[in-house]
């Protein structure tokens, strides 16, 4: 069977639609916070959560008890709660008696232990005999072939197929952790798997048509198409069927989805893997398992047959029994009837008992609710129905009340601060990432001296790809929604000590040890001493040991950055120099000759090798060489031709490779105009265009912890889960150039005396270290003084942040710093810092709107001055990237806290690193996505209160509202209520906020919130 | 010059889908195309701003290719389910490819 082009596209279109519901998973080395329900953002938030339960089997909201705890702690305002309940009753056309009842239910935790049997009986009599919500399942999105078979016949097909796929994915997607590689891995996942499965006697039988397709075709679509036809799935249901299949392992699905849209990812290039291949392999196993079931159940369970079986009465009993829901008194009866083949006869008896049992349960439920309530209701059946409906929605009422309470509090704080003036002549201006963790250090710095701070996306508005030549890796340092066009090279400074090679070897061995048990046995003697030190040092005395280790295995070498663009002439010269070196190497390898001194000859030979035309055709019968190089080396004509061919084919010295190098090198660095553009953007975005202080500092940030696969989740989210140190350095370098400052005039006036420097903020310890490498000597004292102030701010901030960590006993400034430094170096620490947990708001405003307010590291702060942005151009930039990333971070935490099993990765204690790109639970599982329990829970209770991002924009509502409507993504987030949007309108002295219940913007005057 | 009757295919989609689209075309042996970034305009999904400086995923792009009529039809019909669920459109136009004769 060969599918047509149209069918190939059709199947892949459906696959794309199906996986849209499952979020991307980035490799953990560059952990990207994302909204697990990103694919649902075109729906209203509430609708999306309800729909997601079908695919993720998640709970829709926190339990009543969890919300009641927040209510008790004062995080939910009573008036707000009552308003939300009233809004709900109004929407459902329920009277005041219901509003009272619901409030009573909310605020009075269930205390009844004793059941009054007489009362229950009376209630039961007033209930109608309608049966139950549990009805026979229909084949569909959350009840597929395997679910149906498992439910009907007590098998474990789902589990077995998942296990096959887990193993296959772990094998193929491995990035260097496994010591054994499957054959033909470089030819793609489907091809490589095909080779393997053909050797599997249990799952490969040449007499079967599907196996013959595997032999004949390399197209996964052929397998998909064939299985769909065999299972007789109606064409209209294909997409739903695909969703069901991908949803069974949404971790791997997310990773494959990410890889398939990142073709330049090193391992995707090396070992391609695509979603249609994953699906084809899954469907192959599904078919084989169903085929095997044929003997057991007497028919091949295709869609049509299975549907008719499920419609039979006895199927309901089978499903009840196999899902362990059957009424206790019927277990033996069922087994007996199954044996006698008389399930059909047992059905009616069971349904009567089943209905009775449900009425009893409903009566008890009503009894508990009504016991302490004066109110009575005429129609208990209607009451029950309303209560059940309310229960199905109540979490949204709690959520909205909690959000409104936070919103009220923030509005009050902002309104009280609204007249604050900006600081005059600050001695330094410091730029920090908008990351919530910058908030306390910014506040402490401002309190420690005459400093002004600004907030900007941690990539400082400069998207770049960093290629670290010494470490041989490249990374995109910008938000995940951008693909950087400029490359910055980082190369080793010549000052690096000569022991680098030894260090590399040791590091390699050390790394290998962590992942490979075999090498641990073999290599432990070689580096026994080092490993012994590491083991004891990191565990017992991390504070003293880690600085010593850093000296020995120094990770932070002094790297230089290549930021300016090469001229065309420079590019050609560099390529020429490189290729000449390669020719020397090739001659040494193949002719054992040293040609270092033959520069002219090499140059001529290089010209020929990299020419567009063939200048050195092998001439028949010719012996004398043509080139000067061959003449000097006494080579024959055929030898110089051979050398040329070798260079072009093996050593990549050819016209094609020259052009490739030119293209690559032309992406390195930034042109003058690009530098000007990015510098202007960074400053204008934050509203700093005049009154520059003598020192302006760009603080990149990173997190340092040991033995933590989630380390990059604690790094800069705006830099794709990497350190933003490089971006800070690049911007400082650009703005220190006089020609750039001249180019920025007259819009931005930077005095000659102003210097720009970078710094690095470690978010675990809150240390901010200035980069003093290129500081003029006469400014050294000034910079030293700033560093001292920063150190004292670190202690204050560290104390505030440390207190929220478990085991932080009686701490003072000194002990707090020691405590968190130990955390960052202790490799048994599962929670070195809280990261971005508890984030709840995003404020786009000048600093004077928020200066002095203590937000406890819960707010993203982006500087912005609308008076410098008449047409809203810079606001659009902030909304379309930093805010979108903020929403991803907020939603990641929201859902990981809401349901850590469905959207998070549960406890780190059971995690194992897989393939060097992710974690699994235990020794085999789906790829675990989302945040670990330790990131959102504290001592088993929710630490991150899940609320949607409360977004404030300090700009006149009527003029700037249009920026929201202009960007589809942002308008979707606002009007579908994935974020709560508020304008701080200084001109009208009021807040304007989008009220979801009434679907309109509401005005609240500043005066109105300050009571 | 060789004149050949062909179809011009223009596919408008969100930036986040462009890699997928390129790969699907590659699957059916279409390797030549031109991509236009940062499109701006109004459609059934609302207004699309074209100059999202730091967000390429949500800005619209257009992929244009010239192919044989049969392949153009395959593309339009094959991508139909995708376009039913995503922002974007496909346009097919009759066109003539003028190919220079090589000596």
Per-residue model confidence as pLDDT tens digits over A4-42? 999 999 999 999 999 999 999 998 877 888 899 999 999
3-state secondary structure of B36: strand
- Note the pLDDT tens digit of each residue in A771-828: 998 899 999 999 999 999 999 999 999 888 887 777 666 677 777 777 777 777 776 6
Which candidate from B20, B47, B51 shows the least CB-CB separation from A968? B47
- Note the pLDDT tens digit of each residue in B35-84: 998 888 887 777 777 666 777 777 889 999 999 999 999 999 999 999 99
Taking the C-alpha atoms of residue A923 and residue A68, their distance in angstroms, rounded to an integer, is 38
3-state secondary structure of A331: helix
Q: Nearest CA of chain A to the CA of B79: how many Å?
A: 6
| Pick among B52, B72, B80 to test the A interface (most A CBs inside 10 A) | B52
Look up residue A757 and give its two tokens.
Answer: 């420097």
Place of tokens 């990765």: A905
* Other residues' Cβ atoms within 10 Å of the Cβ of residue A341: 9
Which candidate from B27, B54, B57 shows the least CB-CB separation from A463? B54
Q: Which of A397, A384, A383, A395 is nearest to A91 (CA)?
A: A397
List, in order, residues 6 or more apart from A342 with CB less than 8 Å away.
none
Among chain B residues, CA nearest to A484: B54
Q: Nearest CA of chain A to the CA of B53: how many Å?
A: 6
A461 neighbors A864 (Cβ within 8 angstroms):
no
Do the Cβ atoms of A481 and B81 come within 8 Å? no
The pLDDT value recorded for residue A13 is: 97
Q: Nearest CA of chain B to the CA of A431: how many Å?
A: 19
Q: Where are the domains of chain A?
A: 5-18+138-299, 31-63+376-418+834-1011, 109-136+311-371, 509-556, 568-665
More confident residue, A780 or A619: A780
- Region A335-357 average pLDDT: 88
Environment class of residue A854 by beta-carbon count within 10 Å: exposed (0-12), middle (13-18) or buried (19+)? exposed
Q: Nearest CA of chain A to the CA of B60: how many Å?
A: 11
| Pick among A11, A16, A190, A459 to test the B interface (most B CBs inside 10 A) | A16
Look up residue A808 and give its two tokens.
Answer: 């932080």
Look up residue A800 and give its two tokens.
Answer: 């505030």
Taking the C-alpha atoms of residue A66 and residue A835, their distance in angstroms, rounded to an integer, is 22
The pLDDT value recorded for residue B92 is: 97
A878 neighbors A860 (Cβ within 8 angstroms):
no
H helices within chain B, ranges in order? 18-27, 69-78, 80-85
Which of A322-331, A565-574, A960-969, A998-1007 bottoms out in mean pLDDT, i.e. has the lowest? A565-574
Among chain A residues, CA nearest to B17: A261
The pLDDT value recorded for residue A862 is: 97
3-state secondary structure of A963: helix
Determine the distance from the C-alpha atom of residue A372 to the mean position of all C-alpha atoms in its chain, rounded to a whole number.
Answer: 47
- Region A964-981 average pLDDT: 94
Q: Nearest CA of chain A to the CA of B67: how many Å?
A: 13
Q: Nearest CA of chain B to the CA of A972: how many Å?
A: 10
Do the Cβ atoms of A880 and B45 come within 8 Å? no
Do the Cβ atoms of B23 and A478 come within 8 Å? no
Look up residue A580 and give its two tokens.
Answer: 């000449």
Structural domain boundaries enclosing B51: 2-99
Among chain A residues, CA nearest to B28: A5
Look up residue A341 and give its two tokens.
Answer: 């083949």
| Pick among B55, B65, B88 to test the A interface (most A CBs inside 10 A) | B55
Taking the C-alpha atoms of residue A308 and residue A291, their distance in angstroms, rounded to an integer, is 18
3-state secondary structure of A816: helix
| Pick among B28, B47, B54, B82 to test the A interface (most A CBs inside 10 A) | B54
Taking the C-alpha atoms of residue A773 and residue A755, their distance in angstroms, rounded to an integer, is 13
List, in order, residues 6 or more apart from A598 with CB less than 8 Å away.
A629, A632, A633
- The rounded mean pLDDT for chain A is 87
Among chain B residues, CA nearest to A876: B52
Which candidate from B19, B53, B78 shows the least CB-CB separation from A261? B19
Which of A104-118, A672-686, A712-726, A808-822 bottoms out in mean pLDDT, i.e. has the lowest? A808-822
Do the Cβ atoms of B54 and A478 come within 8 Å? yes
- Note the pLDDT tens digit of each residue in A128-175: 766 454 555 666 656 788 888 999 999 999 999 999 999 999 999 999
Q: What is the CATH number of the domain that holds B31?
A: 3.30.70.120
Look up residue B96 and give its two tokens.
Answer: 């003539």
| Pick among A11, A12, A242 to test the B interface (most B CBs inside 10 A) | A12
Which candidate from B51, B54, B80 shows the least CB-CB separation from A482? B54
The domain total for chain B is 1
C-alpha distances (whole Å) from B60 to each of B37, B54, B91 are 7, 13, 15
- Region A542-552 average pLDDT: 54
Q: Is A4 on the interface with B (CB under 8 A)?
A: yes
A79 neighbors A85 (Cβ within 8 angstroms):
no
Look up residue A699 and give its two tokens.
Answer: 């603080």
Q: Looking at beta carbons, which residues of chain B come within 8 Å of A877?
A: 52-54
Q: Which string of b and e fits A210-234 if b means at least 16 CB within 10 Å?
A: bbebbeebebbbbbbbbbbebbebe
Do the Cβ atoms of A16 and B20 come within 8 Å? yes
Which helix (H) or strand (E) segment holds residue A705: the answer is none
Q: Is the pLDDT of residue A984 over 50?
A: yes
Residues from B contacting A (CB-CB < 8 Å) are 16-17, 19-20, 23-24, 27-28, 45-49, 51-58, 71, 73-75, 77-82, 85, 87
Q: Looking at beta carbons, which residues of chain A come within 8 Å of B24?
A: 8-9, 12-13
Do the Cβ atoms of B24 and A9 come within 8 Å? yes
Q: Looking at beta carbons, which residues of chain B come within 8 Å of A260?
A: 19-20, 23
Q: Looking at beta carbons, which residues of chain B come within 8 Å of A876?
A: 49, 51-52
Look up residue A550 and give its two tokens.
Answer: 């850093």
Do the Cβ atoms of B58 and A880 come within 8 Å? yes
Reported confidence tier of residue A473, pLDDT bands at 50, 70, 90: low
Environment class of residue A371 by beta-carbon count within 10 Å: exposed (0-12), middle (13-18) or buried (19+)? middle
Which candidate from A13, A681, A968 shows the least CB-CB separation from B79? A13
* Helix A655-665 / helix A568-591 crossing angle, nearest 10 deg: 140
Among chain B residues, CA nearest to A15: B82
């Amino acid at each position: 069977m060969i599918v047509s082009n149209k069918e190939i596209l059709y199947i892949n279109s459906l696959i794309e639609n199906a996986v849209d519901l499952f979020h991307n998973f980035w490799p953990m080395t560059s952990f990207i916070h994302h909204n697990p329900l990103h694919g649902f953002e075109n729906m209203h938030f509430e609708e999306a959560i309800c729909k997601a339960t079908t695919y993720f089997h998640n709970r829709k909201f926190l339990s009543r008890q969890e919300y009641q705890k927040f209510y008790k702690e004062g995080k939910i305002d009573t008036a707000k709660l009552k308003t939300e309940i009233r809004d709900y009753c109004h929407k459902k056309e329920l009277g005041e008696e219901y509003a009272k009842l619901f409030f009573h239910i909310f605020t009075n935790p269930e205390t009844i232990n004793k059941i009054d049997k007489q009362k229950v009986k009376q209630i039961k009599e007033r209930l109608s005999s309608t049966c139950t919500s549990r009805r026979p399942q229909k084949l569909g999105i959350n009840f597929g072939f395997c679910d149906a078979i498992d439910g009907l016949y007590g098998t474990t097909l789902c589990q077995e197929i998942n296990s096959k796929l887990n193993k296959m994915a772990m094998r193929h997607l491995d990035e260097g952790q496994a010591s054994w590689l499957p054959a033909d891995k470089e030819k793609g996942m489907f091809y490589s798997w095909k080779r393997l499965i053909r050797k599997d006697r249990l799952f490969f039988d040449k007499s079967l048509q599907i196996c013959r397709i595997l032999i004949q075709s390399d197209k996964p679509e052929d397998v998909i198409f064939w299985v769909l036809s065999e299972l007789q799935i109606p064409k209209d249901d294909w997409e739903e069927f695909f969703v069901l299949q991908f949803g069974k392992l949404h971790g791997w699905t997310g990773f494959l989805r990410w890889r398939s849209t990142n073709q330049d990812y090193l391992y995707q290039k090396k070992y391609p893997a695509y979603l249609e291949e994953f699906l084809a392999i899954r469907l192959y196993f599904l078919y084989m398992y169903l085929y095997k079931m044929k003997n057991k159940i007497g028919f091949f369970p295709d869609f049509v047959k299975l549907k008719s079986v499920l419609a039979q009465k006895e199927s309901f009993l089978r499903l009840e029994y196999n899902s362990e829901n059957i009424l206790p008194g019927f277990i033996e009866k069922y087994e007996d009837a199954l044996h006698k083949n008389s399930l059909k006869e047992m059905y009616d008896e069971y349904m009567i008992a089943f209905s009775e049992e449900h009425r009893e349960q409903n009566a008890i439920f009503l009894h508990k609710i009504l016991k302490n309530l004066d109110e009575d209701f005429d129609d208990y059946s209607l009451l029950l129905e309303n209560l059940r409906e309310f229960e199905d929605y109540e979490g949204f009422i709690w959520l909205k009340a909690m959000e409104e309470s936070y919103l009220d509090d923030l509005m009050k704080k902002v309104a009280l601060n609204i007249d604050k003036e900006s600081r005059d002549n600050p001695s330094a201006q410091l730029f920090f990432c908008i990351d919530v963790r910058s908030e306390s250090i910014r506040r402490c710095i401002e309190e420690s001296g005459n400093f002004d701070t600004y907030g900007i996306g941690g990539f400082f508005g400069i998207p770049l790809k960093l290629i670290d030549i010494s470490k041989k890796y490249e990374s995109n340092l910008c938000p995940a929604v951008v693909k950087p066009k400029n490359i910055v090279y980082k190369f080793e400074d010549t000052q690096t000590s000569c022991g680098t090679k030894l260090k590399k070897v040791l590091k390699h061995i050390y790394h290998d040890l962590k992942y490979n048990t075999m090498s641990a046995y073999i290599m432990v003697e070689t580096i026994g001493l080092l490993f012994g030190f590491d083991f004891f040092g990191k565990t017992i005395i991390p504070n003293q040991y880690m600085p010593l280790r850093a000296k020995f295995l120094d990770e932070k070498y002094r790297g230089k950055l290549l930021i300016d663009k090469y001229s065309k002439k420079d590019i050609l010269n560099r390529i020429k120099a490189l290729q000449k070196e390669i020719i020397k190497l090739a001659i040494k390898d193949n002719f054992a000759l040293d040609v270092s001194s033959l520069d002219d000859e090499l140059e001529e030979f290089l010209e020929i090798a990299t020419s567009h035309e063939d200048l050195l055709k092998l001439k028949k019968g010719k012996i004398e060489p043509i080139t000067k190089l061959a003449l000097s080396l006494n080579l024959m004509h055929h030898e110089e031709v051979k050398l040329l061919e070798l260079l072009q084919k093996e050593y990549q010295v050819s016209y094609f490779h020259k052009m490739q190098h030119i293209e690559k090198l032309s992406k390195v660095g930034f042109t003058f105009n690009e530098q000007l553009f990015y510098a202007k953007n960074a400053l204008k975005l934050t509203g700093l265009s005049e009154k520059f202080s003598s020192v302006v500092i760009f603080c990149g940030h990173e997190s340092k912890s040991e033995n933590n696969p989630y380390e990059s989740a604690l790094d800069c989210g705006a830099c794709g889960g990497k350190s933003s140190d490089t971006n800070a350095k690049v911007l400082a370098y650009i703005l220190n150039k006089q020609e750039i400052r001249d180019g920025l005039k007259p819009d931005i006036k930077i005095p000659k005396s102003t210097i720009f420097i970078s710094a690095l903020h470690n978010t675990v310890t809150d240390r901010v270290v200035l980069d003093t490498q290129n500081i003029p000597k006469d400014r050294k004292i000034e910079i030293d003084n700033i560093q001292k102030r920063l150190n004292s701010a670190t202690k204050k901030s560290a104390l505030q942040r440390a207190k929220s960590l478990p085991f932080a006993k009686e701490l003072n400034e000194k002990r707090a710093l020691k405590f968190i430094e130990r955390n960052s170096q202790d490799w048994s620490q599962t929670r070195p810092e809280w990261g971005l947990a508890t984030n709840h708001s995003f404020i786009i405003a000048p600093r004077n709107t928020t200066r002095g307010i203590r937000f406890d590291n819960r707010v993203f702060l982006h500087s912005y001055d609308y008076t410098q942005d008449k047409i809203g151009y810079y606001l659009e930039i902030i909304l379309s990237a930093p805010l979108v990333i903020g929403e991803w971070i907020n939603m990641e935490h929201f859902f990981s806290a809401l349901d850590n099993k469905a959207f998070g990765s549960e406890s780190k204690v059971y995690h194992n690193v897989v393939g060097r790109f992710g974690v699994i639970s235990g020794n085999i599982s789906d790829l675990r996505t989302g945040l670990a329990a330790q990131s959102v829970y504290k001592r088993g209770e929710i630490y991150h209160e899940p609320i949607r991002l409360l977004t404030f924009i300090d700009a006149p509502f009527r003029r700037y509202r249009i920026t929201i409507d202009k960007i589809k993504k942002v308008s979707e987030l606002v009007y579908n209520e994935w974020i709560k949007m508020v304008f701080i309108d200084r001109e009208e002295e009021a807040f304007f906020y989008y009220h979801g219940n009434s679907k309109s913007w509401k005005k609240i005057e500043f005066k109105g919130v300050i009571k | 010059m060789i004149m050949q009757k062909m179809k011009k295919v223009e596919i408008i989609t969100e930036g986040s889908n462009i890699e997928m689209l390129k790969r699907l075309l590659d699957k059916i042996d279409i390797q030549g195309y031109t991509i236009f970034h940062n499109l701006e305009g109004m459609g059934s999904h609302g207004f699309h701003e074209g100059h999202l400086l730091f967000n390429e995923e949500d800005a619209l792009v257009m992929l244009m290719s010239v192919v044989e009529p049969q392949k153009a039809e395959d593309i339009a019909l094959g991508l139909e389910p995708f376009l039913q669920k995503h922002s974007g459109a496909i346009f097919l136009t009759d066109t003539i490819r003028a190919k220079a004769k090589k000596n």
